[in-house]
Amino acid sequence: MNFEIKNKDAMGRTGIIKTPHGTIKTPALMPVIHPGKQTLDVKKFGAEVVITNAYIMYKNEDLRAKVLDEGVHKLIDFPGPVVTDSGSFQLSEYGDVDVTNKEIIEFQELIGTDIGTSLDIPTPPFVKRDRAEKELEITIKRAKEALEVRGEMLNSVVQGSTFHDLRSSCAQTIGEMGFDCYPIGAVVPLMESYRYSELVDVVMASVKNLPDSKPRHLMGAGHPMVFALAVAMGCDLFDSAAYILYAQDDRLMMPTGTFKLQNLIEMPCSCRVCTSYSPDDLRSMKKDMRMKLLAEHNLIISLAEIRKIKQAINDGNLMELVEQRCRVHPYLLDALRNLKNYTAEIDRYDPSSKKAAFFYSGPESLARAEIKRHLSRIERIPGKKNLLLLPRSRKPYSKHIKDDLGKFYIKHVKGEQVVDTEDLMNDLQVSFVDVPFAVIPMEIDEVYPLAQNESPMITDEDARIFVRQEVEKYINQFDNAIINAKVLDRFNMYTIELEPIPDENENAPKIYSLDEFEFEPFKIKVEDRTRISSIADYQFGAGSGEALFKGNIKIVKSRKTGKIRHVYDGETLIATLRATDSVFVLDREGARRLHSHAKYPKNRVVVNEDAEPFAKEGKSIFAKFVIDCDINIRSNEEVLIVNEKDELIAFGKSILCGHEIMDFKTGQAVKTRKGGI
Amino acid sequence: MNFEIKNKDAMGRTGIIKTPHGTIKTPALMPVIHPGKQTLDVKKFGAEVVITNAYIMYKNEDLRAKVLDEGVHKLIDFPGPVVTDSGSFQLSEYGDVDVTNKEIIEFQELIGTDIGTSLDIPTPPFVKRDRAEKELEITIKRAKEALEVRGEMLNSVVQGSTFHDLRSSCAQTIGEMGFDCYPIGAVVPLMESYRYSELVDVVMASVKNLPDSKPRHLMGAGHPMVFALAVAMGCDLFDSAAYILYAQDDRLMMPTGTFKLQNLIEMPCSCRVCTSYSPDDLRSMKKDMRMKLLAEHNLIISLAEIRKIKQAINDGNLMELVEQRCRVHPYLLDALRNLKNYTAEIDRYDPSSKKAAFFYSGPESLARAEIKRHLSRIERIPGKKNLLLLPRSRKPYSKHIKDDLGKFYIKHVKGEQVVDTEDLMNDLQVSFVDVPFAVIPMEIDEVYPLAQNESPMITDEDARIFVRQEVEKYINQFDNAIINAKVLDRFNMYTIELEPIPDENENAPKIYSLDEFEFEPFKIKVEDRTRISSIADYQFGAGSGEALFKGNIKIVKSRKTGKIRHVYDGETLIATLRATDSVFVLDREGARRLHSHAKYPKNRVVVNEDAEPFAKEGKSIFAKFVIDCDINIRSNEEVLIVNEKDELIAFGKSILCGHEIMDFKTGQAVKTRKGGI
C-alpha cells in the first residue's frame, strides 16, 4: 500500500492511497457493508472503498465458507479496496469474542482483505487509568503479533481512552512499527455524547504522534457534521454505518445536524430523494422502501460533504468550512474553541500560501495558524526608532491611505517627549492595525494573507483584546509611537500609558492633529528597496533582504498594475514577486544568494547522491531521496535543494512541510523550479 | 389576493398567498422567466410562482401581440401565479423607458398578471439626499396612480435609497394605501458590493413600517446566501434571475457562497447535476448544455434553501440557521452583528415558545430576542433580601446541583456585613449564572428556553462581559449576595466590589466554604408553591402567581417524571404546566382569575359581537373579528378572549403577535382552547 499527499490545508490533506484493488482518493468515506445483506449498491454513489466486518463472516458458517471460497470482494460485490474490521466492535459491545487475534488476522488475509485489522481492545472514554493501561498493553501486543502473522496490509488502532499521554505513546509505538494505516479507535462514545471537545484532545494526542506518511482513520465517525473538523486535524478516512442506522431510525443526516422524518414539513436538501419525495410521501411508504431512500439520502450527502472538504483543501479554505460546520451545535463550537490549544501543531502543517482569502468568522479565527505565523515573522523585519500606527482601510492598506487619517496620540516608550517631527519621520515604521492580523508593517501589506483577508467592521471583544495585546507588545520595540485616534477607539486602547506633552494637564493627553506634526498622510509611502527587502526578510528570515538584494539593484514593475514584478542585479534576475500573494519566487541568482546567506539547514532540502543528477536537470524531488531538511519548511515555500555537502544544486517549491518530507517515502516533496546552478 | 401566516420565528413567517392562479407557500422564490426564451421548465423543480418582465413584452411587437392575445400565463407556459415587473429595472439600467406608468399598469392588467408593479424609480444606494427625495416623490405619485388605474393585484415598491427615514416614510405611506404586496427595491447594488450590513438597515427601516398583513418581496435577491437572513427580517418573497445569470457565467451558487466552475476539482453538492457530472464533464460540454445544467443546479439549491428555511421556522430555529449562514462571509457576519441594533423590533414578533432549543453560536447570539425578553421578565418575580448565585450545571439546573459547589464570596450590596447564615437562608433567592441568559432564578429554570438551550463551555469575552453586567445589575436588587467562586472565575467578576468579613485583612476578601455557612447545597430546593407562583409571574406578569394560585391549592405531579403537571383549587383545575416548555396552559378557572387580576388590555384579545358566539363555542378567533388586543402579546402565548365590554368569553393560544393581530384581516389570530366561561 502506498499513500501520497496531493494537497494540504491546516493539518488536512488530500491524497491517494494505492491498493491492490485500486486507488482511493482521500479524504474518503468508507461505507460499512454488512457481509450478509447489502442495503445499497454503494459504488453507484461514488464510494471508492468500503469497510466490512471480518468477525461476522468468520462466525457465520455459510458466510465463512463462501468468503473463503470466493473472497471478500466477490462476497460483498465490491471490486474496489475492502477494509475489514476484526471483531473489536463486538468485543466492545459484548465484552468477549470467540476468536484469537492470530486467527482473525489469518482469516482476513485468506479472504483477500486489502487492509486488515488486529483484535485491539477498544477502551471506552473516562475509564480508570489502570484499565486503560492494561488494555493498551494488550492492544500493542496484538499489533506486534499481527505484523508477525501478516507483515503488511494492516491497520493498527490507536487506543488509550481519554488519557492523552496514553493515546500519544500508543500512537508513537505503533507508528514506529510500520503499519499501512492508523485508525483512531473508541471515539464513538465521545461523538454519541456530543463530547466533541474531548474528541479534539484525543485525536490531536494521537495524530501528532502518528507518522505523517500513513493515512489515519477516525473509526466510527459516520456523521458528516464532524468530517471537516476531523480532516482539519489530519484524519483521512471515515467509516459510516450511520447512513443505514440513521435511516432505520427514520433520521436524515445533514452536515448541519440530524432531522427526524416525523418532524419534517419540507425535505431539507437538494439530493434526488429530497427533490423527488415529500415528507408525507416518505412517511406513508413501507418501512423497507423508506429506509432505502433515507439511506440513499444519508449516503449522498455524506459523500457530498467529503467532496466539499476536498474542494476546500484545494482552495485553502478548509478552516473556513470547519468554522461554519462547528457553529451547528454549541458542543462543536466548544471543540472549535478547544482547537486554539493546538495552533502550534496546526501551524507546522499549514501551507505558507493559499489560493483563498482568510475569512474571519468569529473569535475562534484568532487562533488560526496564519495569525500566529505572521506575528512571529514580523520580528524578522529590522526595527526602527519610531512607529506610526494607522487604522484599517481597504486592502492593501498602503494603496488606500486616506487624507482623513484624523488625529494621533503620541506615546513615548523610552526617553523624553518627542515633538520634533523631522526626527520622527527620519526613522519611521508605518504599520496598520486591524483584525485579525493585529499589526501589519506597511512594507509587507500585500503579502499573503495580509491583503487577502476579510473581517467584519463590527469588532468582537476577543478580537479587540487580542489586537490590543499584540499592539502593546509591538509598540514596546520602538522608542516612540504615534497612534491614530481611530486605532485607540476601535481597540479600547486608551488604557495604554499615554504620556502628555509637558505643558498639558497630566491627566488629559493632548490629541495632535496631523498638521501639528507637519505630517501629510498622503506622503506616507514605502521605498521600493525597503519593500523588497522587508518582504524577503518576512519570507526567508532576518537579513535575507540585504543578502538577496545587493549590488546594482534594478526593480521592474508591471506596466498594467504598477506592482513590483522582477528584481535584478544589473542584468541578472534575482527573484520575481508573484502577483497573487506578493511573495518572492527565486531565480538562480536569488537561490545562490539565499544559499550563501542562510545557515544550514535553513530553507534547505538535502537530497542523496541518486537524486542529485535528476535535481540538476530540474526534475522534481521525491520524498524518498531526501535525507535531511529544514524541519520548519512549510508547504508552498521557496526552498533550496542541496546535496549532502550542502552544495546548491537546484531550487523549488515545497509540496510538503518539513515533518512530512522527512517521514514520507512516496510522492513528491519539492517541485523543482530550476536545476543546473 | 389573500395572505395568511402559518408559523413564525424571529420576524420570519411561513404563510400562504392565495391568487387567482393558485396558492403560493411563503417564503417563496420566484424564478425570473424571460418572456422570450425559457431556459428551464421551472415548475418541474417545484417553483410555485414566477416573475417576468412586462416591459420586455410591451416593447417587443411580436411578444406584445402574442401576450395580449393569449395572456401571460400561456406565453411563458406557467399555469401558477405570475408576477410582473414594470420596467423599473430597465429604468435603473438605462436611465429611461419608453412607457408611462399608466400604460404599463394597464398592460399588466390586460395580460392577466396576478401581481403587477407600478413604474417606480429605483434610487440607488448612497446618492445625494436631494435626489432620493425627488425620486421617492415620483415613486409615491405613481403608486397612487397605479391604484387609480387598477385598484388591486398590485405591488408597490419601497424606495428611498440608503436613507433610513425615507425608506421608513415610504413604507408607511404606501403601506397605508393598501397594496397586495410590498417589494423592497434598489437593494441589488448593496448585495453586489457585499454591503450586507447596510442591507439590514434598509430592510429593517422598510419592514418595520410596512403592514404585517402583506407579503414583502426583497427585489433582486436571488442568491441563497441571503435568504435566511432576509426571511428573519420579515421578507417573504425573493426573485432569482441569478440562477441563469450565474450559470451563463459558469458559476455555481451555494447557500454558503459561489464556486467558479473553472476552480472546481469536485462537485460541491448533492443535487442531481453535482452527483451525475464531474467538473471536467461540465467543462468539456458545449456552453449551452453546460449552462442548462448549472442553471438547474442553481435553481435546485435555491429552492432547497427555501425549504430549509420553512423547516427552520417550523422548528423555531431560524436564527440558528441565520447565524450559520452569516458565517460564510465576514460582511454577512457584519450584517448579523448589525442585527443587534434591532433586537427590540425582532422581539415584538418572535414567538414566546419554540420547539427547538436555543443554540449559542457566538457573541452574536447574545443579541437574540429570547435573552432580552428573559431579562425583562425576571423583574416580574418578587424580590428577596438575599441572593445566592450558583454556577452552571446540566440543565435544568435545579435538578443537577452538585455537592461540590465549592466556595463563595460574600458581597454586601446594602447595609452591614452579614455572617448570620440563618438570616441569609430565611429570605434567599437562589439563581444560576450562565451564558447566555445571564441569571436564571431557580424557580423558573425549567421554563423555555432556560432549560432548552446549549452554549459552549469555553466562554468568549463578549459573553463574559454581557453576563457580568447583567449579574451586577441583578445583584443590586438584593441586600446581600453570596457568589460562588466558579461564577466569579468564569465571568471575571473579581472586580466587583467584594466586602471582607470584619476580622479579615481589608484587601483580601475571605473565601468562605459552604461549611462555614452551614449550607448544604443539596438542601437547596424550591418549594412547589413558590415555583408555580414564580412561573406564573414570569409568564403573565407581576402578581399573576398570587392571583392565580389562591385558595386550597393542590399540586398534582407526573408519576413518571415527578414534574408538576396540574394545579387545582380544591377540585377545580386552574392550570396545567406543559411538560415541553414548563409554561402554564390555563383552564377556565385560571382564565377567570387572570382576567380578574390583569388590567385591560393586558393578556387580552377583544373580539367583536359577530365573533362572540363562535368564541363561546370554542371556535378559533379569526383576525378580522378582533377589534383590540394587548399589543405586547407574542405568538404561542396564553391569551384571554374578551368581548367589547371586557367580559371573558374564552381563552386560547395566540398564533400571531399583537401587532399582527391588529393588522391582519385574514387567517387565525388565536387558537381557542375553551369557550363557555
Mutation to test the B interface, candidates A270, A341, A359, most B Cβ within 10 Å: A270
- Cβ separation B307–A256 shorter than 8 A: no
pLDDT at A522: 46
Longest CA pairwise span in chain A (Å): 98
Which one of the listed residues B9, B85, B239, B479 is annotated catalytic? B85
> How many CA atoms lie less than 13 Å away from B472 in the CB half-sphere?
14
Ranges of beta strands (E only) in B427-535 are 428-434, 438-441, 453-454, 480-484, 512-513
pLDDT at A518: 47
- Cβ separation A263–B361 shorter than 8 A: no
Smallest Cβ–Cβ distance between A327 and the set B45, B265, B323 belongs to B323
Question: In which band, very low, low, confident or very high, does the pLDDT at B513 lie, cut at 50, 70 and 90?
Answer: low
Number of Cβ within a 10 Å radius of residue B530: 16
pLDDT at A468: 94
The label of the residue with cell 482623513 reads: A404
- Cβ separation B311–A268 shorter than 8 A: yes
pLDDT at A408: 67
- Cβ separation A456–B331 shorter than 8 A: yes
Given a contact cutoff of 8 angstroms between Cβ atoms, the answer to whether A333 and A327 are in contact is yes
Nearest to B433 by CA among B381, B386, B375, B385: B375
Q: Is 70 exceeded by the pLDDT of residue B255?
A: yes
pLDDT at B234: 98
pLDDT at B502: 46
Rounded mean pLDDT of B366-378? Answer: 98
Residue A194, Cα to own-chain centre: how many angstroms? 23
pLDDT at B501: 45
Rounded mean pLDDT of B141-156? Answer: 94
Q: Give dist(CA B450, CA B374) in Å, integer.
A: 9
Give, rounded to a whole angstrom, the gap between the first and last alpha carbons of chain A: 36
Specify the amino acid at residue B195. Answer: R
How far lies A132's CA from each of A220, A404, B355, B498, in Å?
A: 20, 64, 41, 45
- Cβ separation B329–A270 shorter than 8 A: no
**Residue numbers in A near B308 (CB within 8 A):** 266, 268-269
Query: CA of A163, closest CA in chain B: separation in Å?
Result: 20
Q: Give dist(CA B250, CA B120) in Å, integer.
A: 32
**Residue numbers in B near A199 (CB within 8 A):** none
How far lies B18's CA from each of A140, B174, B233, in Å?
A: 69, 21, 22
- Cβ separation B270–A275 shorter than 8 A: no
Smallest Cβ–Cβ distance between B462 and the set A270, A454, A461 belongs to A461
**Residue numbers in B near A263 (CB within 8 A):** 315, 355
**Residue numbers in A near B355 (CB within 8 A):** 263
Give average pLDDT by consecutive 10-residue segment, chain A, 677 residues: 95 97 97 90 95 95 96 96 91 84 96 95 96 97 94 94 98 97 97 97 98 97 97 97 97 97 97 98 98 98 98 98 98 98 98 97 98 97 90 89 65 57 77 97 96 97 96 88 84 65 48 51 77 98 97 96 96 97 97 98 97 96 97 97 97 98 96 92
Q: Is 90 exceeded by the pLDDT of residue B483?
A: no
Nearest to B89 by CA among B132, B48, B32, B38: B32
Which one of the listed residues A9, A41, A85, A630 is annotated catalytic? A85
The neighbouring-strand residues paired with B359 are: B454
pLDDT at A481: 83
Smallest Cβ–Cβ distance between A264 and the set B311, B361, B464 belongs to B311
Q: Is 50 exceeded by the pLDDT of residue B508?
A: no
CA-nearest residue to A198 within chain B is B457
**Sheet of B621-622, strand order:** B621-622, B668-674, B648-654, B638-642, B604-607, B626-629
- Cβ separation B362–A314 shorter than 8 A: no
pLDDT at B210: 98
Is there a catalytic annotation at residue B479? no
pTM, two decimal places? 0.96
Smallest Cβ–Cβ distance between B461 and the set A267, A270, A465 belongs to A465
Concatenating the DSSP letter of every residue in B153-167 gives: SEE--B--TT-HHHH
Rounded mean pLDDT of B73-95? Answer: 90
Q: Is 70 exceeded by the pLDDT of residue B522?
A: no
* pLDDT, tens only, B214-241: 999 999 999 999 999 999 999 999 998 9
- Cβ separation A330–B456 shorter than 8 A: yes
In the A/B pair of chains, how many CB contacts fall below 8 A?
159
Mention every residue, 6+ apart, whose C-beta is less than 8 A from residue B607: B615, B621, B625, B626, B627, B641, B642, B643, B649
CA-nearest residue to B455 within chain A is A330
CA-nearest residue to A362 within chain B is B362
**Residue numbers in B near A464 (CB within 8 A):** 461
Q: Give dist(CA A651, CA A603) in Å, integer.
A: 10
Helix axes B287-315, B318-325, angle to 10 degrees: 140
- What number is the ipTM of this complex? 0.95
* pLDDT, tens only, B418-468: 455 666 777 889 999 999 999 999 999 999 999 999 999 999 999 999 999
Q: Give dist(CA B314, CA B355) in Å, integer.
A: 8
Q: Is 90 exceeded by the pLDDT of residue B87?
A: no
> How many CA atoms lie less than 13 Å away from B408 in the CB half-sphere?
24
How far lies B637's CA from each of A9, B4, B331, B617, in Å?
A: 50, 19, 36, 20
**Residue numbers in A near B356 (CB within 8 A):** none
- Cβ separation B271–A270 shorter than 8 A: yes
CA-nearest residue to B14 within chain A is A265
Q: Is 90 exceeded by the pLDDT of residue B92?
A: no
pLDDT at B495: 60
User: In 3-state terms, chain A is what percent helix, strand and coil (to 5)?
Assistant: 40, 20, 40
- Cβ separation A362–B362 shorter than 8 A: yes
Give, rounded to a whole angstrom, the gap between the first and last alpha carbons of chain B: 36
**Residue numbers in A near B456 (CB within 8 A):** 330-331, 333-334, 337
